[in-house]
Chains A and B, each alone.
Chain A
Amino acid sequence: MTFRNPNRRKILKIGAAAGVTTLATPYFFSRGAFAQSMDYRNAPEGDTVTLGFNVPQTGAYADEGADELRAYQLAVEHLNGEGDGGMLNTFSSKALEGNGVNGKKVAFVTGDTQTKSDAARASAKRMIENDGAVMITGGSSSGVAIAVQGLCQEAGVIFMAGLTHSNDTTGKDKRANGFRHFFNTEMTGAALAPVLKNAYGTDRKAYHLTADYTWGWSQEGSIKKYTEQLGWETVDAVRTPLGAGDFSQYLTPVLNSGADVLVLNHYGKDMVNSLTQAVQFGLRDKQVNGKDFVIVVPLYSRLMAQGAGENVKGIFGSTNWHWSLQDEGSKAFVKSFGEKYGFPPSQAAHTCYCQTLLYADAAQRSGTFQPSEVGKALEGFEFDGLGNGPVLYREADHQCFKDVLVVKGKENPDSKFDLLEVVEITPREQVEYPPELLGGELGPYNDGV
């Protein structure tokens, strides 16, 4: 429309603009190539190595995110030889000496995932492209963890998953550059089912409320699978949006459904809200089918128990780690975390601390930060002294295998942190499964060059 009267001047101008574009472009393409002169992405050049801590600071999982960040900062202190060393002293591998990693001081950058895949990827990209992070870790939501894991695979850096419990992280969506220390819903199901059988019998009708994303779907599937093997019947499974806040509309139908067990596949503030509302509705005082109505929260954390207060008493669930464990590693970690922050760490803090140490140790043992080399050092690595007993980083799916804790809300807590009691420690053999069970393909390592 504006070219109705093309004249010489106009054409010259357009030509000039186009010329500038074409001339500038090749320079930029080669610019990227100069930046990657080493044999892997973000190879540290100075005397520091940068790690990226990508945690939710806002949203439904913000409490977990804050605790994860505390643990990361503690881990960096210990790696650099500050503080009391924490679990470095009890860790079975003695490669780390408290003088950084590979002779370089550990530095870190932080970012907010907002519990959204988009924001998390943008934040991780900033760390990789701008801050030169050689490893990304964090995430308090499996959706976010899977999205960031995919990004790290594309970019060619290692991803050490933080709190992510969905099977898919090291199942359907696993990636060669991604590693997970935390357990998954398959293990939760295998560990929790026998305890539920002993406590509630084999003739139960369950009603699921499920957070509507990969973790919720995964946990619903695993709990269904294992409870139906016991003889339980699943009446209904209703999906609720992440961060719903008010769950009353989902809780009302539960009473009329004929179910006598409510399974809450929620986490973080969602679980605090749904459990509190379920208890306020008087669900736990009801009698259905001649049995007491019970609630199960398959994935528990101390932070959530603290949020839900009185309501957690007597409710079963599973957890990756709990601060009341009495092994040397746990005691050392609780001590140094408590001295720095004044309260005990959550399971999210524990797994993030362990992941940082495990990465640093693998980098130290392989003598480089190159993702494929660090990855090989982690694959099949057996270690102890990090609070979970002997643990194996399985080669086939980059998943850690360790004992799983089944816990129960304490009836008479001694302090405001002492809210959960460990009912059973399910041994590692009982929760192991063949890697083919969850599908997916690791693919090749990507060093980003």
Chain B
Amino acid sequence: MLRTLSRSDWLLLIVFAAVVLTLPWTMQPIGAAYPDLLQKFAIYGLFAIGFNILFGLTGYLSFGHAAFLGVGSYAAVWSFKLLTMNVLPALALSVAVAGVFAFLIGYVSLRRSGIYFSILTLAFAQMSYNLAYSVFTPITNGETGLQVRAIRASAETPLRDGDVRIIDQALGVQEVGIPISNLFGMKMSGYPGFYFCAVLLIIGFFIALSISRSNFGMMLKAIKSNQNRLKYTGVHTRPYLIAAFVISGMYAGLAGSLLSITDPIAGAERMQWTASGEVVLMTILGGAGTLIGPVLGAGLIKYAEQKVSSWNEGILHDAFSLLPGPVQDFFVEFATLFVGEGWHLTLGLMFMIIVIFLPGGLMEGFRRLRRALTSGRSSASRTMSSTSPVQERG
């Protein structure tokens, strides 16, 4: 029935784990080795891996995955407010709530396929966003965002703003100052927070790898390649699709809860359609259907968002300081367009170039590069491989 992972799969997993865990050192040269960005790499990597289970394997393009991310975030913050500042209940609750939510949306949306499915999911996500933004303000705190409150100078001061923390109170845990999410006393901000996310990313990667290699995964790939033929042979595809949708929604919920765990605030903008579009970009940029691709794409986009947006003219002048005055000014003027507030432009150009020249994303780029290095043969074999990213392992 279920195939076990091959030797190269285990190798992939171990290399992946090693790379993720050493990110704080390897990201040093490009200035990305600080906890917040590393956390974002891991969290959005997880989000993209989950998205890829649906999009990469079944070919169903969901344009509303941010809804599950948002629901997961809110569930986690409510767990902090109502139960405890320990992160484990928050994780469990977020994944469960996102799973149920994904089942409800998936059950309706998966009656259609192709563009209609995309539009349905987009509509649901946008609906969730608007509900979270205005109608559900008592639950979501609208635009301001849901925060863990109750800053207090001493344990005698009662908790406020809807915070009760039943479990913490029952166990006699009394935080003073700002309540901080923790794993049995270990603070979930900074590097410990990154390692927590990283371990979950590796587990998530392992599960995605197993799914991709299992019979269930094979079924999903069959749906992508020809759903009609599958139906003619008597296979009822919908349960498989719903299962894939729910799993991928749970990944998104997990990512959402990690966002809240590393920074206990949840805002409606996480559910906006731009956020849904972002995960599609990440997956396509890295390589849809590949296992590593979405994580790479997520890293690239988060890096652009955090770092490229911070490069101002001063930094550019430093970068081009070797050039003589007027030439330097010209280069700085030109480059200013693409950094700082122009980082969206950079991202857009990069996306266009990759989609036009490397339809299989960055992973296809690496494959071509490897092939070019190992054998300098004709380009015919390269173009042939580019059309089927699904079959690629890793």
Interface, chain A (partner B; CB < 8 A):
1-2, 4-5, 10, 13, 16-17, 20-21, 24-25, 28-29, 31-32, 57-58, 62, 109-112, 116-119, 121-123, 125-126, 129-130, 143, 146-147, 150-151, 153-154, 175, 212-214, 239, 241-242, 441, 443-444, 446
Please report which residues of chain B, range 132-166, place their CB below 8 angstroms from some CB of chain A when the two chains form the complex: 133-134, 142-145, 147, 151-153, 157
Contact A5 B306 (CB under 8 A): no
Q: Which of B143, B153, B177, B340 contacts A214 (CB 8 A)?
A: B143
Contact A112 B341 (CB under 8 A): yes
- Tell me the minimal C-beta distance from B354 to chain A in angstroms: 23
> Measured between alpha carbons, how far is A441 from B159 in the docked complex, in Å?
12
Q: Can you name the residue of chain A whose Cβ is closest to the Cβ of B31?
A: A130
Q: Which residues of chain B come closer than 8 Å to A29, judged between CB atoms?
A: 191-192
> Measured between alpha carbons, how far is A123 from B36 in the docked complex, in Å?
9
Q: Which of B13, B21, B213, B307 contacts A20 (CB 8 A)?
A: B21
Contact A122 B36 (CB under 8 A): yes
Contact A129 B35 (CB under 8 A): yes
Contact A122 B192 (CB under 8 A): no
Q: Which residues of chain B come closer than 8 Å to A4, judged between CB atoms?
A: 2, 4
Q: Among B17, B151, B199, find the residue whose CB has the most chain A CB atoms closer than 10 A.
A: B151
Contact B21 A143 (CB under 8 A): no
Q: Which residues of chain A come closer than 8 Å to B269, judged between CB atoms?
A: 116-119
Please count the residue pairs between chain A and chain B whose beta carbons lie under 8 angstroms apart in the complex.
Answer: 151
User: 21 A-B contacts, Cβ less than 8 Å apart?
Assistant: A1-B210, A24-B21, A28-B24, A28-B194, A28-B195, A31-B191, A32-B192, A117-B269, A119-B305, A125-B34, A125-B35, A143-B145, A146-B144, A147-B145, A150-B265, A175-B151, A212-B143, A213-B142, A441-B152, A444-B153, A446-B177
Contact B270 A118 (CB under 8 A): yes
- Tell me the minimal C-beta distance from A353 to chain B in angstroms: 18
- Tell me the minimal C-beta distance from B161 to chain A in angstroms: 9
Contact B151 A443 (CB under 8 A): yes
Q: Which residues of chain A come closer than 8 Å to B323, judged between CB atoms?
A: none
Q: Which residues of chain A come closer than 8 Å to B114, judged between CB atoms?
A: none
Q: Counting CB contacts under 8 A, is B367 at the interface? A: no
Q: Which residues of chain A come closer than 8 Å to B104, judged between CB atoms?
A: none
Given contacts A2-B210, A110-B310, 6 further A-B contacts (CB under 8 A): A28-B195, A126-B306, A147-B147, A151-B263, A441-B151, A443-B151
> Measured between alpha carbons, how far is A339 from B112 in the docked complex, in Å?
62
Contact A443 B152 (CB under 8 A): yes
> Measured between alpha carbons, how far is A267 from B379 in the docked complex, in Å?
57
> Measured between alpha carbons, how far is A27 from B199 in the docked complex, in Å?
16
Q: Which residues of chain A come closer than 8 Å to B310, judged between CB atoms?
A: 109-112, 123, 126
- Tell me the minimal C-beta distance from B342 to chain A in angstroms: 9
Q: Which residues of chain A come closer than 8 Å to B153, judged between CB atoms?
A: 441, 443-444
Q: Counting CB contacts under 8 A, is B344 at the interface? A: yes
Contact A116 B267 (CB under 8 A): yes
- Tell me the minimal C-beta distance from B337 to chain A in angstroms: 13
Q: Which residues of chain A come closer than 8 Å to B259, judged between CB atoms?
A: 118
> Measured between alpha carbons, how far is A129 from B24 in the docked complex, in Å?
13
Contact A117 B145 (CB under 8 A): yes
Q: Counting CB contacts under 8 A, is B79 at the interface? A: no
Count chain B residues whose beta carbon lies closer than 8 angstroms to a beta carbon of A.
60
Q: Is the interface of B mostly helix, strand, loop or mixed?
A: helix
Q: Which of A1, A241, A242, A441 contacts B214 (CB 8 A)?
A: A1
Q: Which of A17, A116, A118, A129 contacts B34 (CB 8 A)?
A: A129
Q: Counting CB contacts under 8 A, is B290 at the interface? A: no
Q: Counting CB contacts under 8 A, is B18 at the interface? A: yes
Q: Which residues of chain B come closer than 8 Å to A116, judged between CB atoms?
A: 267, 269
> Measured between alpha carbons, how far is A100 from B292 in the docked complex, in Å?
48
Q: Can you name the residue of chain B whose Cβ is closest to the Cβ of A130?
A: B34
Q: Can you name the residue of chain A whose Cβ is closest to the Cβ of B198?
A: A21
Contact B14 A17 (CB under 8 A): yes
> Measured between alpha carbons, how far is A213 from B132 in the docked complex, in Å?
12
- Tell me the minimal C-beta distance from A127 to chain B in angstroms: 8
> Measured between alpha carbons, how far is A116 from B305 in the docked complex, in Å?
13
Q: Can you name the residue of chain B whose Cβ is closest to the Cβ of A109?
A: B310
Q: Which residues of chain B come closer than 8 Å to A122, judged between CB atoms?
A: 36, 40, 305-306
Contact A154 B178 (CB under 8 A): yes
- Tell me the minimal C-beta distance from A2 to chain B in angstroms: 5
Q: Counting CB contacts under 8 A, is B180 at the interface? A: yes
Q: Counting CB contacts under 8 A, is B10 at the interface? A: yes
> Measured between alpha carbons, how far is A395 from B180 in the docked complex, in Å?
27
- Tell me the minimal C-beta distance from B125 to chain A in angstroms: 16
Q: Which residues of chain B come closer than 8 Å to A5, judged between CB atoms?
A: 4
Q: Which residues of chain B come closer than 8 Å to A143, judged between CB atoms?
A: 143-145
Q: Counting CB contacts under 8 A, is B37 at the interface? A: yes
B9-42: CB near A (< 8 Å → 1, else 0) gives 0100110011001101000000101111100100
Known contacts A32-B190, A111-B309, A147-B265, A25 near B142 by CB under 8 Å: no
> Measured between alpha carbons, how far is A122 from B310 in the docked complex, in Å?
12
Q: Which residues of chain B come closer than 8 Å to A16, judged between CB atoms?
A: 14
Q: Counting CB contacts under 8 A, is B5 at the interface? A: yes
- Tell me the minimal C-beta distance from B181 to chain A in angstroms: 11
- Tell me the minimal C-beta distance from B45 to chain A in angstroms: 16
- Tell me the minimal C-beta distance from A95 to chain B in angstroms: 27
> Measured between alpha carbons, how far is A28 from B33 in the docked complex, in Å?
12
Q: Which residues of chain A come closer than 8 Å to B35, judged between CB atoms?
A: 125, 129
> Measured between alpha carbons, how far is A242 from B199 in the docked complex, in Å?
38
- Tell me the minimal C-beta distance from A385 to chain B in angstroms: 29
Please report which residues of chain B, range 296-324, place their CB below 8 angstroms from some CB of chain A when the two chains form the complex: 305-307, 309-310, 312
Known contacts A154-B178, A241-B133, A130 near B37 by CB under 8 Å: yes
> Measured between alpha carbons, how far is A213 from B137 in the docked complex, in Å?
10
Q: Which residues of chain A come closer than 8 Å to B312, judged between CB atoms?
A: 109-110
Q: Among A2, A13, A130, find the residue whose CB has the most chain B CB atoms closer than 10 A.
A: A2
Contact B151 A2 (CB under 8 A): no
Q: Among B24, B178, B259, find the residue whose CB has the most chain A CB atoms closer than 10 A.
A: B178
- Tell me the minimal C-beta distance from B189 to chain A in angstroms: 7
Contact B195 A58 (CB under 8 A): no
Contact A154 B5 (CB under 8 A): no
Interface pairs A-B: 9 shortest CB-CB: A213-B143, A57-B341, A125-B36, A130-B34, A129-B34, A443-B151, A28-B191, A214-B144, A117-B267
- Tell me the minimal C-beta distance from A363 to chain B in angstroms: 22
> Measured between alpha carbons, how far is A130 from B144 in the docked complex, in Å?
26
Q: Which residues of chain A come closer than 8 Å to B194, judged between CB atoms?
A: 28
> Measured between alpha carbons, how far is A213 from B140 in the docked complex, in Å?
12
- Tell me the minimal C-beta distance from A196 to chain B in angstroms: 28
Q: Which residues of chain A come closer than 8 Å to B34, judged between CB atoms?
A: 125-126, 129-130
- Tell me the minimal C-beta distance from A13 to chain B in angstroms: 6
Q: Can you name the residue of chain A whose Cβ is closest to the Cβ of B210?
A: A2
Q: Which residues of chain A come closer than 8 Å to B213, judged between CB atoms?
A: 2
Q: Which residues of chain A come closer than 8 Å to B199, judged between CB atoms?
A: 21
> Measured between alpha carbons, how far is A130 from B37 in the docked complex, in Å?
9
Contact B36 A126 (CB under 8 A): yes
Q: Which of A20, A57, A62, A118 contacts B267 (CB 8 A)?
A: A118
- Tell me the minimal C-beta distance from B10 to chain A in angstroms: 6
B178-222: CB near A (< 8 Å → 1, else 0) gives 101000000001111011000100100000001001100000000
Q: Can you name the residue of chain B whose Cβ is closest to the Cβ of A150?
A: B147
Contact B18 A20 (CB under 8 A): yes
Contact B13 A241 (CB under 8 A): no
> Measured between alpha carbons, how far is A240 from B134 in the docked complex, in Å?
9
Q: Can you name the residue of chain B whose Cβ is closest to the Cβ of A13?
A: B10
Contact A129 B340 (CB under 8 A): no
> Measured between alpha carbons, how far is A130 from B153 in the docked complex, in Å?
30
